[in-house]
Amino acid sequence: MSEISKKELIDLLGKLVSYNTVNIPTEDVKAPKDCPEFIVKHLQEKGIDAKLFEDEGYYSVYGKVGEGKFNLLLMAHFDVVPVSDSWDTDPFEMVIKDEKTAYGRGVIDNKNNVTSIMTILPEIKKLDLGDKMTVCFELSGDEEIGGIHSAGNYLKKFDRMPDAVMNLDGAGEVIISRRRNAMGATLRIPKKKAKAKGIIEEKKFTSVQYGRHTAYQHRGADVHCMIKASVVSSWEYYKVIDCQGKFIKGNVVPDECTLTAIIPSEDKNAKEHEYDAGLTSLFENLRYLVNTQFPTEFSTYGITIGSNMLFDRGEFWELGLDIRAMSQNYKEIENALRSMCDELFGEKQYELIFKPGQGMVNTAKDSMLISTVLEVSKELGLPSQIVEMGGASDSRYFSREGIPTFDFGPDGGGVHANNEWLNLDSFHKITQFYLTVVKRILEKV
């Protein structure tokens, strides 16, 4: 481990965490360029030719070391998801507890891996790459909102696609060779006034899930507040007037939501009140909508449909759906959603806008890249497991083209949730692991 200074590694991560790099497209919030400018300056001071790239107000950092034939890409992202008000510490100030665990937004997703790449690039420059290999790097500033402005512009930056991709965007020290496609849909239900007799009450529903990333929902164990609200309101015949919730982002499960509803009652004190028949219909049927099925390739996670955003748009309610599946057959998926909506809400009684994804990740286990990573993992005493993970990543921009990729990351948790954390010993060890993998690939090419 002599090549990597643990203290310098942790100090650099702390600096990155201090930058607020949140993007919120629905509020036209874009991360400023101060963080990527810091990254460029830091790398240039280390002798690395790093460049700043801008596309529609989104920034990324890129560059390369060497001029060899085989192009290996190191990739990570510095943008982060928004924060809620439930953190125990300031999310943009890294806090270390017990000398081994760091807390802060981005410590595991994914400023830790940006730090690792920044740290090993000067070491890679010392290697004899010759005419064998070029090591490219892409540090993205919009992965959490799709990556189209950063990784999606790869050809504009490098003029050619890589031969293999190390996408350092994972956790758990496991080799991630598969990820489902991440798609989306917007459902609009018109408002409709109606009246019912009963008592007006507010009912709060809370999500129960380890972390808040929608891709990691586990049926039978996790509770999504919107689905719980749907089940209860349907069984109890609520007439829904309004819904408010802690809606953060399309792929983030809201912590809670609150229904204002008429609870039907024949009590003599009960009065007639006005409610929204459109919103009521939405909550009556949401529990079915998220169970829409369609054919997919094998996936350990199956299909996940997350109802994570709900907006009052004046004349209609707008529900945002996050859809994960091991499929790129967009027409088939859209047709299944429309058929379900026809059944639940009636033909022409809704508007559905389907958004295709950027592809799925599915790299063969016997590829040179995966076999090399597995080999080094065993040598360094890591778990040496090849797995599928639930969330999407920028690997999809390359995997969909048939380019071998893998995702990886150290031990940590709280991805997209409160009190995001990172195991610092693992962080140090995995940074060395990345450098060893690069060296081993150089030997093989």
What is the per-residue pLDDT across 177-191, written as a single tens digit (0 to 9) for each?
999 999 999 999 999
Helices and strands counted in the chain (H then E): 10, 21
**pLDDT higher than 80, residue 338:** yes
Complete edge-to-edge strand list for the sheet that includes strand 304-312: 304-312, 316-325, 181-190, 351-355
Q: What is the phi/psi pair of residue 189, to 5°?
A: -115, 120
The pLDDT confidence band at residue 281, using thresholds 50, 70 and 90, is: very high
Strand segments, DSSP code E, in 180-217 are: 181-190, 193-206
Strand segments, DSSP code E, in 329-377 are: 351-355, 361-362
**Residue 184's beta-bridge partner residues?**
322, 355
**pLDDT higher than 90, residue 56:** yes
Provide the pLDDT for residue 1.
41
User: What SS3 class is residue 348?
Assistant: coil
Handedness of CA 206, 212, 216, 221 (dihedral sign): negative
The answer for residues whose C-beta is within 8 angstroms of residue 343's C-beta and 6 or more apart is none
- Average pLDDT on 369-379 reads 98
**pLDDT higher than 60, residue 361:** yes
The mean predicted confidence, pLDDT, of the chain is 96
The pLDDT confidence band at residue 2, using thresholds 50, 70 and 90, is: very low
Least confident range from 102-116, 209-223, 346-360: namely 209-223
**pLDDT higher than 50, residue 419:** yes
How far is the C-alpha of 415 from the C-alpha of 117, rounded, in Å?
A: 20
- Average pLDDT on 123-138 reads 97
Provide the pLDDT for residue 86.
87
| Of the candidates 359, 277, 295, 282, the residue with the CA atom closest to the CA atom of residue 321 | 282
Q: What is the phi/psi pair of residue 187, to 5°?
A: -110, 130
Provide the pLDDT for residue 211.
79
Reading the block at residue 309, the tokens are 């955003």
The pLDDT confidence band at residue 102, using thresholds 50, 70 and 90, is: very high
**Residue 103's beta-bridge partner residues?**
95, 421
Provide the pLDDT for residue 395.
96
How far is the C-alpha of 119 from the C-alpha of 43, rounded, in Å?
A: 9
**pLDDT higher than 50, residue 196:** yes
What is the per-residue pLDDT across 237-279, written as a single tens digit (0 to 9) for each?
999 999 999 898 898 999 999 999 999 998 888 999 999 999 9
The pLDDT confidence band at residue 397, using thresholds 50, 70 and 90, is: very high
Give the start-to-end residue ranges of the domains of the chain. Answer: 6-180+361-444, 182-355
What is the per-residue pLDDT across 5-55, written as a single tens digit (0 to 9) for each?
999 999 999 999 999 999 999 899 999 999 999 999 999 999 999 999 999
Superfamily of domain 6-180+361-444: Zn peptidases (3.40.630.10)
Percentage of the residues of the chain whose pLDDT score is greater than 90: 92
Reading the block at residue 76, the tokens are 């990570």
**pLDDT higher than 80, residue 74:** yes
Provide the pLDDT for residue 267.
87
The alpha-helical segments, DSSP class H, found in 236-325 are 277-289
- Average pLDDT on 164-170 reads 97
The answer for residues whose C-beta is within 8 angstroms of residue 367's C-beta and 6 or more apart is 404
Provide the pLDDT for residue 84.
85
